[in-house]
Amino acid sequence: MLRQVVASPPGWSRALLSRIPSPRRSPEDTPLPPAPAGPRRIVRSGLSVTGAGLAALFYCLSFTPSLLPRAWFLQGVVAGITAAMGYALGAAAGALARRLHGPFLARTALIAWAALAAVVPVMVVIFLWLGTRWQRDLRIRLGMEPVPEYDIARTVGASLLTFGLLLLIARFLRLSTYGCALLFRRIVPQRAAYCAGTLVVAVLAYSAFDGLLIANLFTTVDRLAAVENNGTGSGVTVPASTLRSGGPQSFVRWDTLGRQGRTFVAGTPTVEELSTFARRPAIEPIRVYAGLTSADTLQERADLVVREMDRTGAFDRAVIAVITPTGTGWVDNKVPRSLEFMYAGDTALVSMQYSYLPSFFAFMGDRSEVADAADALISAVRARWAALPAATRPRLLLFGESLGTYGMEMTFGTPERLVDGADGALLLGPTFANPTHRALTEGRAAGSPIWDPAYPALPVEFADDAAELRDMSGPRPKVVYLQNATDPVVWWSWDLLWKKPQWLIGQRAPDVTPDMHWYPGITFWQITCDLVFSNKVPTGHGHSYRSETVDGWAALAPPPGWTTADSVRLRALLDG
pLDDT, tens digit (0-9, with 9 covering 90-100), for 14-64: 443 344 444 444 444 444 444 444 444 444 446 888 899 999 999 999 999
The DSSP line for 335-365 is HHHHHHHHTTT-EEEEEE---SS-HHHHHHH
pLDDT of residue 24: 46
The residues that bridge with 428 in the sheet, in sequence order, are: 401, 482
Q: Is 507 helix (H, G, I), strand (E, B) or coil?
A: coil
pLDDT digits (tens, 9 = 90+) for 71-84: 999 999 999 999 99
Under the phi-then-psi rule, with left for phi > 0, alpha for psi from -120 to 50, and beta for the rest, what region is 40?
A: beta
pLDDT of residue 229: 87
Environment class of 221 (CB within 10 Å of its CB; exposed 0-12, middle 13-18, buried 19+): middle
pLDDT of residue 9: 44
- Looking at per-residue pLDDT, the higher value among 187 and 244 belongs to 244
Give the containing element (helix H, strand E) for 192.
helix 190-207
**Number of other CB atoms surrounding residue 296 within 10 Å:** 9
pLDDT of residue 556: 97
- Looking at per-residue pLDDT, the higher value among 182 and 317 belongs to 317
pLDDT of residue 203: 82
Query: Would you place residue 8 in the very low, low, confident or very high pLDDT band (cuts 50, 70, 90)?
Result: very low
The upper half-sphere exposure of residue 328, i.e. CA atoms within 13 Å in the direction of its Cβ, equals: 21
pLDDT of residue 107: 66
pLDDT digits (tens, 9 = 90+) for 397-412: 999 999 999 999 999 9
**Number of other CB atoms surrounding residue 521 within 10 Å:** 16
pLDDT of residue 101: 62
- Looking at per-residue pLDDT, the higher value among 13 and 171 belongs to 171
Under the phi-then-psi rule, with left for phi > 0, alpha for psi from -120 to 50, and beta for the rest, what region is 428?
A: beta
- Confirm if 75 and 83 have CB atoms less than 8 A apart: no
- 55 vs 79: CA distance, rounded Å: 10
Helix axes 522-530, 72-141, angle to 10 degrees: 80
pLDDT of residue 194: 79
Nearest CA-CA partner of 71 in 130, 129, 148: 148
pLDDT of residue 34: 46
Query: Would you place residue 104 in the very low, low, confident or very high pLDDT band (cuts 50, 70, 90)?
Result: low
Question: Is pLDDT at 499 greater than 50 in this prediction?
Answer: yes
Nearest CA-CA partner of 50 in 92, 98, 90: 90
- Confirm if 327 and 358 have CB atoms less than 8 A apart: yes
Q: What is the pTM (predicted TM-score) of this model?
A: 0.85
**Number of other CB atoms surrounding residue 513 within 10 Å:** 18
Question: Is pLDDT at 322 greater than 80 in this prediction?
Answer: yes
- 528 vs 525: CA distance, rounded Å: 5
